[in-house]
Amino acid sequence: MSSENSDKLPEFKFSLSGQQARELPMGWAKQATVTDFPVSKNIAGVLMELKPNGLRELHWHANAAEWGFVISGNVRTTIIDPQGRYETNEFKEGDIWYFPRGHGHSIEGLGPDGTTFMLVFDNGAFSEFATFSITDWLSQTPVEIVSKNLQTDAVDLNNLPDKEVYIAEIKEKIESKKLDSTPLTHKYSLLSQIPLRDCDGGKLWIASSEEFPISTTMTGGILVLNPGALRELHWHPNADEWLYVISGKIRLTVFASSGLSSVVELSENEIGYTPMGYGHSIENTGDSDCRLLIVFNSGTYEEISLSSWLSSNPDELVSANLNLPRDIVKKFPKKEAFILSGNKK
């Protein structure tokens, strides 16, 4: 790609390593929003760690739904919907959750080691650090209003925090309450399922609204590529693709039409972004398997791969388009390859 072209394109790569963390005694968080990653207009991400008994306090998001993936450890969530229905779940590594926009929830790190998870939101302008937290709300409300709402004396609220806590510490055992449960669960055990794709070069686990009905605005999953393997050239007609490198190294190619394209190298703790409809590929350039978290801002998963497209057309038409002899075209894959093994030329 020429330097002239590169000047016309946004950066499709963002490193969380260089981001300043919001650090507290019981955990920390780093975020990637459109403010720092301009191409990511429709999706934002937050990497968070909670120590055992660390609590991401009761809060809600006014402008985005939340999709979470547990990278390590164990975590418990609570959520309430507008009908007053409640659910609490425990998650382990490989599990995901989905909280619709505006639903109140909390996240608790469990023993023995706490938890690390990635939160993804279907709005690039979302900010985890400007969300609606219960301590922030009550500290900014006249105490007589708060005491009236909570039906207690104002003096009883002297220890109420005077600003947002963000990550609190749970000091007593939590006793569950029996309330009306939500009709759709907010939990899905992603990596306990059979992969959607299981190829020589890797695997894809995916959870759309078909598999995880409550996740109406987002689809997400894990893509594992073996060394040298290629997630073939493809595009998504209905969604942007946001990816986070959990482990390994990849080469991401992005085609933006009109002679514009980009090639970026990504490694652990870096984010890649491909806008809706842009042609792209993902190749494992490392010596070990790479593990990628991929999320789309649609509850329906759609993709069109190069091999599927070409194989559906007559050889003569493909030959004319690519200016290649038919005997060469006949060697092309006869169906979708999806993931090409690194052992194949």
To the query of whether residue 59 is one of the catalytic residues in this protein, the response is yes
182 secondary structure, DSSP code: P
To the query of whether residue 56 is one of the catalytic residues in this protein, the response is yes
| Catalytic residue chosen out of the listed positions 49, 59, 87, 283 | 59
To the query of whether residue 234 is one of the catalytic residues in this protein, the response is no
| Catalytic residue chosen out of the listed positions 76, 103, 105, 186 | 105
128 secondary structure, DSSP code: G
Distance, in Å, from the CA atom of 9 to the CA atom of 38, rounded to the nearest integer, reads: 11
Burial classification of residue 131, based on how many CB atoms lie within 10 Å of its CB (0-12 exposed, 13-18 middle, 19 or more buried): buried
| Catalytic residue chosen out of the listed positions 56, 234, 280, 291 | 56
To the query of whether residue 303 is one of the catalytic residues in this protein, the response is no
Q: What are phi and psi of 200, to 5 degrees?
A: -60, -30
| Catalytic residue chosen out of the listed positions 49, 66, 108, 164 | 66
Nearest by Cα to 180 from 104, 102, 82, 99: 82
| Catalytic residue chosen out of the listed positions 49, 87, 128, 336 | 128
Helix residue spans in the chain (DSSP H): 3-8, 134-139, 143-150, 306-311, 315-322, 326-329
Strand order in 270-274's β-sheet?
A: 13-15, 270-274, 241-247, 290-296, 219-225, 202-207, 197-199
Residues tagged active-site: 56, 59, 61, 66, 105, 128
